[in-house]
Structure 1
């Protein structure tokens, strides 16, 4: 036994030596890669980790100084609950680190630069960094600035940067704009929490975007501006989110006019604090409107009506339940509901939909002659037993609606009655897909009983298939 042990010991040691050689070999192989590939690998690391590779060897000492992406996002926590002195220390280290990285930067261009920073009293210092990044022909710039008072001016060179293709500004402040603005290559623009105070210069900003394809506006305030015109000839996607009510001292709010002949996707989410008007949106393919407000005032209804007019060319439309709640009491707007001649897909979500009471929904159906797909993601109910509400039947039910989807189905009387009306009046329907609610998913017996009830419903279409999922 002892001999056996003596024989095995060198074998284990030999195996460990082989593994060490493999590790050393892999390390040498990594160092043998071209610098361009090594820089590409380092670009996936947070900048502080990329800088730490300088201790690996002489070759790695300044390799980080030419990496294409500089990301300081994880260098300072967004929320800090510790002692204020410790926070100040961490912030000071970040500020010094950013400055050192930019000072030691070689002539290589910067592809992406991401900086979160609590400005406090260092606005000039932050602007010096941004200017340095612009001089390095930056392509993607993400700036998250916080904790400063009053107005803020970004360096003027940023607004004429020829290499910039993507810009993200998150700045809860009044943004001062220069008189000259021309983003010749900017394709993606995101602006969050910015207040615009000068109508003339704001107009310059939104007209100096000749190749812009994607625009996102989140909780932007238009101050005392009366009219803002967004004119972007190549804009494909526009997203607007509003969750914070603007300062009432500015009056009734601004009107935002959108001229984008190539616009394909539009998304709005908020409480319709101001007017949004889409003009000449002939290419619109998809629109999603989510309203959080239960305010059914005539003013909000009018804003919704004007927004729907701008979406009249859309092919796919998603509406939240509150859209109907906003319009339901505005009878004068229902009479002038626009025609949706290109609409083929209508998706209704965020709350139960009532066939009997939602005259707005029925009006939209009557104004959508080419509708093919109708989806009720959160289900549909009929609160009355009579089915006269589909008299006259919407033309699309007689000629185009081929697919209906109903979600969150419990199988109660109100839901069953609504499905019954849909099946009776959709005379060219190919398939209706009904998704069971969470309560039904584990009850196979009840699912089978519901399916038997569904297939016995008289159908207007002989070819209609009923699927219960």
Structure 2
């Protein structure tokens, strides 16, 4: 019997192929273009030069864009100013059958001119009112007005994402009860983000540290503050950061750049004396370029107000920028800045709910790794699993071994490294995870 050709499916009629991709998520449908020229032509712009007069209303433009479709579609729009007889801007629109729209304005000339975006949902009935997901990429000052008007008609929008918007300075969002997810990614000039939306559950920010104001009582569950670009040109506003953290006190999952908590400690913040606690925080991901003494102890201080934490992830990425903590003029600060490690450990709170710990990006015998493991094993009384992942992505299971039992656990069938604890009275056993076993005197992974 003749073997089936791997590309046999590509020989199907275009109508059938379009029906196939109509049943898969839009991102996956777009990725099919790499399979062959046949798949690539499925998402060629249907209207490669759809021109509009700039005097036409946003509703007229978007009504044409959001006509019902039976499968993913890609359109190219050019907005024309008839007086100048040239394009105001050009953008690509990708839409899916699940009420999803991606607008990419990077096709035309980019500008770094500063501009603001105001999103205010109002009660209107248009073709846009049923849109659920809106992804905006490379919005500039020319397309900003169109985007703001677009959002005002999205009554049922659940997910909004802004990405790589050069020159964008201020984002002001007044959403209705439907908006659940907001992401602002790699917009390097953002200075301020104001959010009003009672049902927002997920906030994801990546870039320089902006001023973020939460103007209402949100139902936020998951927050990402990936501040890998540092402060930008702004000064560090300690009170503003504390106000933000206070507004996030009821979240369940937090990703945060370690330098931010280190700077708060150095600026005089004593976490245990704050008027709020993270009483619902169950998962914490700390990301940074290095783990030094002050960062380690700052993490310990933050854990003092995160007492029901169940999962802790520390990720060290040496490709991230390392920011030097400035000198702050004050006469008080977190005690760890002048205490030795043993005092810091004794002052740390018990982590009664912590179940799993993963420490990624560390070398095998880094001193700070040993001290961090020691601190967590001392305070996490119900810990079930601790893993160390090397920069080469090799995973190790950590167990605590009393010196008296060290010989009994060093069998030749285990691939193990042994590291002495700071007190020298016990050892850490690092066992390759695929060879890890349970030992009642040690613990397990």
TM range (shorter): 0.5 to 0.7
Q: Distance in 2 between matches of 1:164 and 1:440?
A: 40
Pairs within 5 Å for 1:79-228: 98=48, 124=53, 133-134=64-65, 136-138=67-69, 152=88, 165-171=99-105, 172=110, 183-195=128-140, 205-220=150-165, 228=172
Q: Are 2:426 and 1:456 equivalent residues in the alignment?
A: yes
Task: Report the count of equivalent residues.
Answer: 361
Query: How far does the alpha carbon of each residue in 1:12-70 deviate from its partner, in whole angstroms, 9 at most, with x for none?
Result: xxxxxx98xx99xx99x968xxx963653698786x96699xxxxxxxxxxx9xxxx64
Deviations 1:419-461 (A, max 9, x none): 222222222222322334549889x9996342687993499xx
What is the distance in 2 between the residues matched to 1:363 and 1:400? 17
Residue of structure 1 in register with 2:305 after alignment: 367
- What residue in structure 1 maps to residue 286 of structure 2? 348
Question: Alpha-carbon deviation of 1:276?
Answer: 4.2
- As a proportion of its length, which structure holds more helix? 1
Shift of 1:464: 6.4
SS of structure 2 residue aligned to 1:387: helix
SS in 2 for 1:394: coil
CA distance in 1, matches of 2:389, 2:66: 56
Between the aligned partners of 2:381 and 2:66, the Cα distance in structure 1 is: 65
- What is the rounded CA distance, in whole Å, between the counterparts of 1:239 and 1:184 in structure 2? 20
Question: Aligned residue for 1:291?
Answer: 227
2:16 maps to which of 27, 37, 45: 37
The answer (yes or no) to whether the contact 2:186–2:207 under 8 Å persists in 1 is yes
> Which is bigger in relative contact order (C-alpha 8 A, separation at least 6)?
2
Contact 1:152 1:176 in 2 (8 A): no
Task: Determine if contact 1:405/1:433 at 8 Å carries over to the other structure.
Answer: yes
Q: 1:312·1:339 contact (CA, 8 Å) conserved in 2?
A: yes
Q: Give the deviation of 1:410 after TM superposition.
A: 1.6
Q: Does 1:419 align with 2:353?
A: no
| Match for residue 44 of structure 2 among 34, 57, 71 | 71
Q: Alignment partner of 1:279: what SS?
A: coil
Give the SS at the match of 2:131.
coil
2:419 and 2:250 mapped to 1: Cα distance?
Answer: 38
Distance 1:143 1:302 in 2: 46
Q: After TM superposition, give the deviation of residue 243 of structure 1 in Å.
A: 4.1
Aligned pairs (5 A) from 1:423-434: 423-434=377-388
The 3-state SS of whatever aligns with 1:422 is: helix
- Find the residue that maps to 1:343 and give its secondary structure: coil
TM-score (norm 2): 0.61
CA RMSD of aligned residues (A): 5.5
Shift of 1:344: 0.9
d(CA) in 2 for partners of 1:360 and 1:322?
A: 9
Q: Is the 8 A contact 2:365 2:419 kept in 1?
A: no
Q: In the alignment, what sits opposite 2:201? A: 264
Q: Measure how far apart 1:229 and its partner are.
A: 2.8
Q: Which has the larger radius of gyration?
A: 1
Cross-structure match for 1:403: 356
Distance 1:463 1:213 in 2: 50
Partner in structure 1 of residue 400 of structure 2: none
Distance in 1 between residues matched to 2:213 and 2:258, nearest whole Å: 20
- Counterpart of 1:320 (choices 241, 257, 260) is 257
Contact 2:311 2:357 in 1 (8 A): yes
**1-side partners of 2:290 and 2:89: how far apart?**
47
Distance 1:72 1:201 in 2: 21
Relative distance call for 1:427 and 1:388 in structure 2 (3 A) is: same
Q: Which string of whole-angstrom CA distances, capped at 9 and with x for unpartnered residues, describes residues 133-171 of structure 1?
A: 53743486666779999994899xx9xx9x992222222
